[in-house]
Amino acid sequence: MRSLGTRRVAQAAGAAMVAVIALAGCSAGQVAETAILKAPVSGLNTQSPDGGLLIRNLQVLYNNPAGYKSGSDAPLELGLFNQTQQSITVTISSRPQPDARANIVAAQQIGLSGGAAAASPSANPEPTGSRPDATSGLPSEQVDTPSPGASSGTPTVAATPTKAALEPARITIPALSNVTFLADGKQSLVAQGLTGDLRPGYSLSLTIEVSGSNQPLEVTAPFAIPTSPASRAPGIEDENSEE
């Protein structure tokens, strides 16, 4: 004959099993929230204080685990979206931050290289890339303006042809349009003359200014995450051999 205590334990175990089955049934046929989320991007997404300029996927392009040495150049990726009813001019520079930590560096100059960049009407600003810029105190030789023959539906941004070296740059974005610059684009945004080693885990200090606003935006461009793992170091010869 089973004792009273044994029956109570058996009843408790049975109740726990029913509860587990009930909970499992609640999720049956449901789609997990994480299954419909888009994969995150490693770049910085922010906007100007007034919301007129959206900045998407700002990051330093990944090259290798060692990154970029002090004094070298580092290409950037960036997308700029003009949300206003008028054209705006964006200027990007790099300045050391007074309270900069060891993992934040600056560049002597941010420059544009390559040919003309095309602007397109802004839609939903998904994270992409873009490249404009000019440093303070440098001549603004690079000015982007809509091309005369462009229709209102497809505005373009023309860049002054580069000379022997990178040119300080500014980008004028037509109303409700955007400019994007990617690693494989015709035009690139480059941080020239890094003040320190810039490698994975580090960030680049940037100042973004928008025409008509006296509030510069201080941001840090993170180092991009590699899309594939780095190759492993070769093993030691006869490392796994038996004596």
Cβ atoms of 170 and 133 closer than 8 Å: yes
Residue 57, helix vs strand vs coil: strand
Q: What share of the chain is helix, strand, coil (3-state, %, to 5)?
A: 10, 35, 55
Confidence of residue 32 (pLDDT cuts 50, 70, 90): low
pLDDT tens for 46-88 read: 999 999 999 999 999 999 999 999 999 999 999 999 999 999 9
pTM of the predicted model over 0.85:
no
Return the residue matching tokens 């544009």: 112
Cβ atoms of 187 and 115 closer than 8 Å: yes
Q: Extract the tokens encoding 136.
A: 């303070």
Q: Which domains does the chain have, with CATH numbers?
A: 44-222 (2.60.40.1890)
Cβ atoms of 191 and 73 closer than 8 Å: yes
Cβ atoms of 92 and 189 closer than 8 Å: yes
* Per-residue CA distances from 125 to 50, 90, 228 (Å): 16, 17, 26
d(CA 240, CA 134): 55
In b/e form, how buried is each residue of 34-71, taking b as 16+ CB within 10 angstroms? eeeeeeebbbbeeebeeebbbbbbbbbbbbeeebbeee
What secondary structure, in 3-state letters, does 145-198 show? ECCCCCCCCCCCEECCCCCCCCEEEEEEECCCEEEEECCCCCEEEEEEEECCCE
Q: Tell which residue, 132, 197, 194, 138, has the closest CA to residue 169.
A: 132
d(CA 218, CA 225): 22
pLDDT tens for 202-216 read: 999 999 999 999 999
Which pLDDT belongs to residue 161?
A: 43
pLDDT tens for 151-193 read: 444 444 444 444 456 878 788 999 999 999 888 888 899 999 9
Return the residue matching tokens 């300029």: 53
Confidence of residue 29 (pLDDT cuts 50, 70, 90): low
Pseudo-torsion of CA 188, 191, 197, 200, nearest 10°?
Answer: -40
